[in-house]
Amino acid sequence: MIFLKTEDEIELLRESNLLVGRTLAEVAKLVKPGVTTKELDKVAEEFIRDHGAVPTFKGFPNQYGDPFPASLCTSINEQVVHGIPGDIVLKEGDIVSVDCGTYMNGFCGDSAYTFCVGEVDEEVRKLLKVTKEALYIGIENAVQGKRLGDIGYAIQEHCESNSFGVVREFVGHGIGKEMHEDPQVPNYGKRGYGTMLKKGLCIAIEPMITQGSRQIVMERDGWTVRTKDWKYAAHFEHTVAVGAGKADILSSFEFIEEVLGDKAI
């Protein structure tokens, strides 16, 4: 069932999502060679809890195995999504996609950003740039009167025209009092098809894009998803409210990019 949000509910969603953006900015300060993903997770969880919220990912149930053990998903290089923070040390030339969720004042926040660790290959940087562009192109279609297929088509066309793969098995989603609500929001589709978008619908749009084949594999931990061909993948995500004429982006990359400066994608 799809729940349209009131203006007051959208403002509560905005508060949770802006906290995600600020949390990711704290993570951005630490992303460099020699840092472990466990260190990123520790800082994020402390920051979230210090601001009166809880990390929604921690303890999230899994039909394939154990609940998620951390506050962030940290997916490195060929990992697409749901990487588990641990003792893996970031090294020069890596990329790490950091997905973060919060729960505050009864509503959820959800956003993701892919960071470069030091200097990365130009082709990898292009993957990140195109994925981020695709996110905003998708958001341009999150307006009343369009359909979910318009969002997916826009993302798919931009990424595939740049010779990148679009993951099919994992998609965006509705968001509100629950982190995952209806409808699903694919990063592929046909223009004019799918659920009609109405003002007040809040969704997380999150392109998951691969450097090579779009085929994926799930690791034995039951969470981490990687590319089948071991090529890199990127992930950017915003939570938005469908508007009449223009989407309202409830999350923010501004805090992150203030930290990154000219190193931002």
Q: Which residue ranges are tagged as binding site?
A: 82, 99, 110, 173, 180, 206, 237
Handedness of CA 144, 251, 127, 85 (dihedral sign): negative
* Greatest Cα-to-Cα distance within the chain, rounded to the nearest angstrom: 48
Binding residues for a divalent metal cation: 99, 110, 173, 206, 237
Length of the chain (residues): 265
Query: Which tokens hold the place of 181?
Result: 């609500």
Binding residues for substrate: 82, 180
In 3D, which of 236, 202, 183 has the Cα closest to residue 11? 202
Estimate the share of the chain in helix, then strand, then coil, as percent rounded to the nearest 5: 30, 25, 45
Burial, 6: exposed, middle or buried (Cβ in 10 Å; 0-12, 13-18, 19+)?
A: exposed
In 3D, which of 83, 105, 108, 109 has the Cα closest to residue 94? 83
- ω into residue 183 within 30 of 0, thus cis? yes
